[in-house]
Structure 1
Amino acid sequence: MGDLRTSGVDGRERAMGAEELFFSTTDRRGVIRQGNSVFVRISGYSLDELVGAPHNTVRHPDMPAGLFRLIWDRLNAGRPVGAYMKNRTKDGGSYWVFAVISPLHDGYVSVRMAPCGPLFEFAKRVYAQALRLEREAVQRDGMNRHDAALLGMAEIEASLWKRGYASYEEFMLHVLPQEVSARSRLRKRGYARPGAQGSIAEVLSGTGALDGMLDELVGRLAGYQKLGEELSTTSAKVLDIAHRLNASVAAATEASELVAESAPVLANVARVMAGPMNKAVDALERLQTEFGRLRTDVAHLRFQISLASLYNDMAAAFAAEVFDRVAPPESLTAVPLLCDAAGSCIAEMSEQVQRVNAALRDIAHLVTQTGTSLEEFRRFIGQWRNLVLRHDAGRVLGDKVHPIDEEISVSWEWMELLRNLGRQYESAIVPCDPALLQTHLNKIRIAPASL
């Protein structure tokens, strides 16, 4: 089938409901194999026109080529991708979606939803700037389209970096959970159909159970994310104090040399207490590294949960459409494919949960290690201060003693807070039962077979 893009662009925007989901599958060349009733209604094409046509039939000229380079780089690497997209309707209008695309079997499966998240407007501005650069490079500078796409991709990544995202992947990992969460809040109704029977009832029952388990995981991660932010802030404060205490150790050593002849023991204790102080600083610095690793692992886990949730919602939407007689019963044949896509997410989730739980344990261990080292240092610094008094060295050391006293006083309040948070990490674990999740998926998968 040839390219259907025969109409112009009239600037009119179409809106889709917060509860609606597009669905389509393509082969590896991007030729459409399947679509759902929402895709048909919003695009203005019939299903017969869409099936067999290239998916870029609905590509809008306002989209920068650089974004598609980012998308295909991930897809060609076998990884799912999410992106805001502006598409074109048959009559020349347009509509915005947040699209999620996953490689699956010998093609791709895509689910699209109405953009609701707070970064949507930002993404539109980024795209507009990238598109301007691409067009100028081609029209004014004679650059070929391949190189212009690379220029646009670099511009998108640079804009994201200025916003605080290290890469497009980091942006995407943040945005998909935002969009799924926003959609859940705005949905006018769920997919429950009390009068459903047979295959429809089985699909809706299974998707409902799976949705509940995924929601519980999301809630757990939100709690850990808040705890992680508190612990990260507190450990950074303790690390800052520890660095100053380390400088105080140097000051104590220097001060002790002033009374080396009359009180040599002061210099000996000052040198010894540097050991636990260095260990505490080292543990705190590694703690910051572990926080970075944990944040990354949690972001990947949230992405996979959101992806599984979206595919699960799409399966429920098919069943609800059939019950409502908006779609034919044959459309339930897409459900097993969605189960396969969600199954890939669950397999990835299982690995990510293990990494997150390992990071939680490592962080709790480092907090304990930090506390032990600082307690040891505290004993030595206390011994050193007593020796200063015993040898009447305060008169000679003078102001060199006061900064040490002040840093020690401040540090223990923050250290106690860090320990309290660390104890919460000791008992923290992300509960995930991949086998049970997969059991629900299997029930959903086989339900349409009874049609």
Structure 2
Amino acid sequence: MNRQENPVGLDDVFFSTTDDKGRITLANKVFVRLSKYPLEELVGAPHNIVRHPDMPAGVFRVMWDALEAERPFAGFVRNRSADGSPYEVLATVTPLPAGGYLSVRTRPMTEAADRAFALYAEAREQERAAEHAGRTRREAARDTAAALPEALGAESYERFQWGLLPAELAAREAAGAALPDAPAESGAANGAADGGTGTGSPDAAVTAKAAAAEMIAALHRAHDLLGDWTRGQEETGALTEELSGLTARVSEAAGAGERVRAAADELDLTGPQRTLLLAPLQIWANMHGIVGGYLEELSGLIERVDRASREALFSLALVRLQTAAAGTFAVEPGAADSPESLTALCTALKAGIDSLDEQVTREERLVTRLNSKAGSVARIMEPVQGMIAGWLDDTDVEHLTGGARELVETVSAAAEETRAAAAQLTAASGSLSALARPDVAELRHLVAEVEDALQRATRGW
């Protein structure tokens, strides 16, 4: 299917919940409209009622492996509506604390969807061939699940989705998707206000509308805070990438020590001249060898911070998407599915914020260790760098032979590169440590505001 032909609109946000067995317990009107099943037929049915036969079983095996490990899942899915027509979604599925699962789905926005569905077609044909050859459907699904990460160009599916969801959300927002600004007029509220058959008095209807506006305001504020947090995590990612490059630069410059040592052994020098010229170089080369171990540890810490940052960006994108979904219900006071759906979303938001808090705490500890290790590298290198700088100042290059002159020039270039890279390494590490921690308490407070307003709104719906 061409993405432009996909019937899922930019502002369409699917919402559903299922029990532990995958049976649908809640579904919103977008799901009903695009699935072309009546709500009564969806609720209680297994979610695979909309499963398209072109979807590889292995993709769902990956999903269930994640969910059973209490991790969220994000991926592209082609569904089939009741009349057989297809529609494609970016699906996110999150385990709920009390059991069951929450799914929020949107229109795929990036070219990654085209690549994924092309791979799915190949994988599905391979599954059919495997089943025809005598393997069970479960075995064929396991084969697809095992091969999927490499086919997607990732070391694991979890790593793939860490990049996928933030990119999809950014593309969606760049295309104009946003939280609604104000609650819509509701039939229930209007009926009550007109003295009709609404669920409450005119005062209750007004209260419900005001509460809905409070929910929207709180969700907007939460969405903005999550956006600030996302930008901070993006800055963390940029700094870890810079640190990785700088560490490689320092390591490469430090590697000049061995090259210098080898070149020095080839010099035709004897007596005091050899000692004066080469003794400082031996110390310099030896110190660079010691620094190599520290740089290896530093590289490992940078990789762990980078992993933590990517995981946090994924979690942030998931919580922001759920916040947007909550907004679609908050602007429809009186809708039959709003109270239960908003309650489920608030539950997921609270769990997501708690998870993010834990992730950031782990990340901060890693950053503290990284900053300490970067400082150790700088402190170890400082005296030997000072020694080699003095040696370069004292060495009369004009009176050296060709080989010795080339050696000094090599040392000079390596020393300057090491000094510059080490200084930048220290600065980048310090910038990473200085990044502000997000206000998690404020996010929790905003979700509590939504829950409180929801209780007041429900009395007037």
Distance in 1 (CA, whole Å) between partners of 2:94 and 2:134 is 35
1:45 to 2:37 alignment: yes
Q: Percent identity?
A: 30
Residue 308 in structure 1 maps to residue 319 in structure 2: yes
Q: Which amino acid aligns with 2:225?
A: M
Change (3 A) 1:260 1:423: farther
Task: Select 2:14's aligned residue among 22, 27, 41.
Answer: 22
Query: Retained in 1: the 8 A contact 2:329–2:338?
Result: yes
**Does the aligned pair in 1 maintain the 2:179–2:328 contact within 8 Å?**
no
Mapped to 2, the partners of 1:230 and 1:118 lie a distance apart of 27
Residue of structure 1 in register with 2:410 after alignment: 403
Aligned-residue offset at 1:275: 4.5
- Whether 1:244 and 2:256 are equivalent positions in the alignment is yes
1:17 deviates by: 1.5
**Shift, 1:238, TM fit:** 2.2
Distance 2:273 2:173 in 1: 74
Which string of whole-angstrom CA distances, capped at 9 and with x for unpartnered residues, describes residues 322-377 of structure 1?
24xxx725522221211111111111111111222233333333333323333222
Q: Does the C-alpha gap of structure 1 residues 39 and 371 become closer, same or farther in structure 2, counting only changes over 3 Å?
A: same
Whole-Å Cα distance in 2 between the matches of residues 359 and 42 of structure 1?
45
Is the counterpart of residue 173 in structure 1 residue 162 in structure 2?
A: yes
* Residue in structure 2 matched with residue 55 of structure 1 by the alignment: 47
Q: Is 2:257–2:286's contact at 8 Å kept on the other side of the alignment?
A: no
Paired AA for residue 431 in structure 1: R
In the alignment, is the contact (CA less than 8 A) between 1:259 and 1:396 conserved in 2?
A: no
Match of 2:200 in 1: none
Paired position in structure 1 for 2:291? 280
Q: Of residues 339, 348, 358 in structure 2, which corresponds to 1:351?
A: 358
Alpha carbons 1:363, 1:425 under 8 Å: kept: no
Amino acid aligned to 1:19:
D
Following superposition of structure 1 onto structure 2, how do residues 65-84 of structure 1 map, counting pairs within 5 Å? 65-84=57-76
Say if 2:367 and 2:432, in contact at 8 Å, map to a contact too: yes
Paired residues, what number? 430
RMSD: 2.8
Distance, in Å, in 1 between the alignment partners of 2:33 and 2:160 is 30
TM alignment of 1:201-220, pairs within 5 A: 201-220=213-232
Q: CA deviation at 1:420?
A: 3.7
Q: How far 1:53 moved relative to its partner?
A: 0.8
Identify the structure with bigger relative contact order (alpha carbons < 8 Å, sequence gap 6+): 2
Q: Which residue of 1 aligns with 2:91?
A: 99
Q: Which amino acid aligns with 1:34?
A: L
Deviations 1:283-315 (A, max 9, x none): 322222222111100011111111111111111
How far did residue 271 of structure 1 move? 4.2
Structure 1 residue 136 and structure 2 residue 115: aligned? no
- The correspondence of residues 291-440 of structure 1 with structure 2, limited to 5 A, is 291-320=302-331, 322-323=332-333, 328-382=335-389, 397=404, 399-426=406-433, 428-440=434-446
Q: Which consecutive residues of structure 1, in runs of 5 or more, have no partner in the other structure?
A: 1-11
Q: 2: distance between equivalents of 1:204 and 1:46?
A: 29
Residues 187/228 of structure 1: CA separation in 2 closer, same or farther (3 Å cut): same
Structure 1 residue 260: Cα displacement? 5.3
Cα gap change, 1:65 to 1:260, in 2 (>3 Å)? farther
Comparing 408-417 with 71-80, which one deviates more in the overlay? 408-417
Secondary structure of the residue aligned to 1:273 is helix
Amino acid at match of 2:226: L
> Shift of residue 106 of structure 1?
2.1
Q: Is the 8 A contact 2:211 2:454 kept in 1?
A: yes
2:234 — aligned with what? 222
TM-score (norm 2): 0.85
Q: Aligned letter for 1:20? A: D
Q: Please list, as runs of the form range in 1=range in 2, the aligned pairs for 1:118-133 lying within 5 A after superposition.
A: 118-133=111-126
What residue identity is the alignment partner of 1:346?
Answer: I
* SS of equivalent to 1:328: coil
| Paired AA for residue 216 in structure 1 | D
- 5+ long unaligned stretches in structure 2: 186-208
Q: Distance in 2 between matches of 1:296 and 1:231?
A: 14
Rounded Cα–Cα distance in structure 2 between residues aligned with 1:151 and 1:265: 66
Distance in 1 (alpha carbons) for counterparts of 2:131 and 2:108: 30
Aligned residue number for residue 447 of structure 1? 453
The TM-score, its normalising length taken from structure 1, stands at 0.87
DSSP-derived class of the 2:21 partner: coil
What SS does the aligned partner of 1:63 have? Answer: coil
Equivalent pair of 1:206/1:441 in contact (CA under 8 Å): yes
Contact 1:256 1:267 in 2 (8 A): no
- 8 Å CA contact retained: 2:353, 2:443: yes
Of 162, 171, 175, 1:186 maps to 175
Alpha-carbon distance between aligned partners in 2 of 1:44 and 1:119, rounded to the nearest angstrom: 27
Conserved in 2, the CA contact under 8 Å of 1:256 and 1:270? Answer: no
Residues 393 and 71 of structure 1: is their aligned pair in 2 closer, same or farther, counting only changes over 3 Å? same
The offset of 1:216, in angstroms, is: 0.7
Which deviates more from structure 2 when the two are superposed, residues 19-28 or residues 148-157?
148-157
Q: Which residue identity lines up with residue 384 of structure 2 in the other structure?
A: F
